[in-house]
Amino acid sequence: MNRIFSGMQPTRQLHLGNYLGALKNWVRLQDQFEAIFCVVDLHALTIDHDPETLRNNIRAVTAAYVAAGIDPEKNILFNQSAVPGHAELNWIFACHTPLGWLNRMTQFKEKAGKHRENAVLGLYAYPVLMAADILLYKATHVPVGEDQKQHLELARDIGGAFNRYYKRDDFFPLPEPQILGEATRVMSLRDGTKKMSKSDESDYSRINLTDDADTIALKIRKAKTDPEPLPETVEELEKRPEADNLVTIYAALADSSRSAVLAEHAGSQFSGFKSALADLAVAKLGPIAAEMKRLMDERTELDRILQRGAERAGAIAEKTMGEVKDIVGLLRY
Ligand code: AQP
């Protein structure tokens, strides 16, 4: 059976990178797979946070999933901390993960930066919890943006290590990353060599899913570009990261390809292209922002979705954890 699992952290605001790299693909995949979509709130504790803001962000991410088109009846939609199996399996996996594997994780190095000695254990162990998130549901496929590829490879390694140690060849499936679409790595609007990110100091570096039409248009107008007109071929974008990024965003929003966008806009100056991109972005993102706003005013509806999702996810997780405890030699009553 094929099952997908994926999630987003309720840290700060979701942005266009989260949407094009992950959420938009989930909406398409929900018709092809049994799907579990999680708001990974335990991961959000790995960085500084304010409890009231976190509570609000959990609901906001839930609202974003539904507003983007995830059907909470057909799929399971829940928040991670509501199912205790995530933390339990995390510990068991932690006991099978060599430190050397974690030392290779580039995201920890980037996030810990120069203050590595003060970074918390949770940030370092983040990919182990992520492996537990996925394998608790024996998910076979994980749709993510390109930045999560290394963590996914680690999840496969951890699942494989568990299977080998307990001589249970196929107990955990080795999940396949699904890095899909034209925009697997959306870059900052201020610097085409940096990933668009929630934590970038400049709000002009990203388009938030809650931005209104004027803000979207302003951010695109201010986006860094170069003085050349748009080229005719994708190859000519190679050394022009900012131009490449805007063409990629256009292609992904239009469900098209970079070559098709260039076929239409080659020779255009950025002023004209940016105005077309802003219209497209507003047309695609505006309805999501409006629906998010409506759902955020319906708090009980969001809480009902999460509670129902946690019951359904919890039933699957409980079964896996029962099997895991038997395999590793823990008693249960
Ligand atoms: N720039 C991006 N382009 C494509 N996909 C992206 N994703 C994140 N940024 C981009 C994908 O979004 C999903 C959820 O990510 P997350 O909630 O775990 O957040 P993150 O990766 O921590 O997002 P940020 O913005 O990069 O946060 P900070 O600034 O805190 O590091 C994942 O599938 C991810 O690949």
| Ligand 1 atom having least distance to the Cα of 206 | 1
Under a CB-based contact definition with an 8 Å cutoff, are residues 209 and 289 in contact? yes
Share of the chain above pLDDT 70, in %: 100
Q: Is 169 helix (H, G, I), strand (E, B) or coil?
A: coil
- Atom 33 in ligand 1: residue holding the nearest Cα: 144
Residue 184 has phi, psi (to 5 degrees) of -80, -20
Q: Are strands 141-143 and 34-39 parallel, antiparallel or unpaired?
A: unpaired
Decide if 114 is catalytic. Answer: no
* pLDDT at residue number 115: 85
Note if 284 is an active site residue. no
Which residue from 8, 11, 13, 18 has its CB within 8 A of the most atoms of ligand 1, so it is best to mutate?
Answer: 18
Mean pLDDT to the nearest integer, 279-285: 98
Q: What is the pLDDT of residue 143?
A: 95
Q: By alpha-carbon position, which residue is closest to atom 13 of ligand 1? A: 18
Residue nearest to atom 25 of ligand 1 (CA): 197
pLDDT (mean) for 83-103:
98
User: Cα separation of 62 and 323, whole Å?
Assistant: 30
From the CA of 10, give the closest atom in ligand 1: 17
* Cα-to-centroid distance, 145 and ligand 1 (Å): 7
Distance (Å, rounded) from C-alpha 190 to C-alpha 200?
10
In total, the chain counts a number of residues equal to 333
Residue 1 pLDDT: 78
**DSSP structure class, residue 186:** P
* Distance of alpha carbon 54 from alpha carbon 150, whole angstroms: 27
Residue pointed to by tokens 């499936």 = 173
Task: Provide residues with CB under 6 Å of ligand 1.
Answer: 8-9, 11, 17-18, 21-22, 144-145, 147-148, 184-186, 195-199
pLDDT tens digits, one per residue of 159-175: 999 999 999 999 999 99
Local confidence band at 83 (pLDDT 50, 70, 90 cut-offs): very high
- The boundaries of every CATH 3.40.50.620 domain in the chain are 3-178+299-328
pLDDT digits (tens, 9 = 90+) for 221-263: 999 999 999 999 999 999 999 999 999 999 999 999 999 999 9
**pLDDT (tens digit per residue) in 171-187:** 999 999 999 989 999 99
> Of 14, 54, 147, which is best to mutate to test ligand 1, by the most ligand atoms within 8 angstroms of its C-beta?
147
Q: What one-character-per-residue DSSP string does 214-266 give?
A: HHHHHHHHHS---SSPP-SSSGGGTT-HHHHHHHHHHHHHTT--HHHHHHHHT
Catalytic residue among 149, 198, 224, 319: 198
Whether 198 is a known active-site residue: answer: yes
Q: Pairing between strand 76-79 and 34-39?
A: parallel
Residues 138-152 have pLDDT tens digits of: 999 999 999 999 999
DSSP annotation of 103: H
Helical H segments across 1-120, by residue range:
16-18, 24-29, 41-44, 51-68, 85-94, 99-103, 106-112
Is residue 293 over pLDDT 90?
yes
Q: What is the tens place of the pLDDT at every residue in 36-76?
A: 999 999 999 999 999 999 999 999 999 999 999 999 999 99
Catalytic: which of 24, 74, 109, 111? 111
Report how far ligand 1's centroid is from the alpha carbon of 32 (Å). Answer: 23
Ligand 1 center to residue 263 CA distance, Å?
30
pLDDT digit string (tens) for 8-40?
999 988 999 999 999 999 999 999 999 999 999
| pLDDT value of residue 262 | 97
Q: Is the pLDDT of residue 114 over 90?
A: no
* C-alpha of residue 230 to centroid of ligand 1, in Å: 28
Residue 213 — very low, low, confident or very high, per pLDDT cuts 50/70/90? very high
The domain at 203-294 falls in which architecture? Answer: Orthogonal Bundle (1.10)
How far apart are alpha carbons 155 and 310 in whole angstroms? 23
Q: What is the assigned CATH class of domain 3-178+299-328?
A: alpha beta
Query: Could you give the residue ranges of the DSSP H alpha helices within 166-227?
Result: 213-222
Cα distances (Å, whole numbers) of residue 196 to 111, 170, 280, 289: 14, 37, 19, 19
Give the global pTM: 0.96
**Given this model, what pLDDT does residue 235 score?**
96
Task: Compute φ and ψ for 15, nearest 5 degrees.
Answer: -130, 180
Distance 212 CA to ligand 1 centre (A): 21
Token pair recorded at residue 178: 């699904």
pLDDT at 92 over 90: yes
End-to-end CA distance of the chain: 30
CA distance 199 to 184: 18
For the residues 86-115, what does the mean pLDDT come to? 95
For the chain, residues classed under CATH 1.10.240.10 are 203-294
Rounded to whole angstroms, how far apart are CA atoms 241 and 238? 7
Minimum CA distance residue for ligand 1 atom 8: 18
- How many whole angstroms separate alpha carbon 224 and alpha carbon 221? 9
If you measure from the C-alpha of residue 291 to the centroid of ligand 1, how many angstroms do you get, rounded to a whole number? 22
Give pairs for 24-29: CB < 8 Å, separation 24+: 24/68, 24/181, 24/252, 25/143, 25/178, 25/180, 25/181, 26/65, 26/68, 26/70, 26/143, 27/68, 27/69, 27/70, 29/4, 29/141, 29/143, 29/178
Distance 180 CA to ligand 1 centre (A): 14
Percent share of the chain, pLDDT over 90: 95
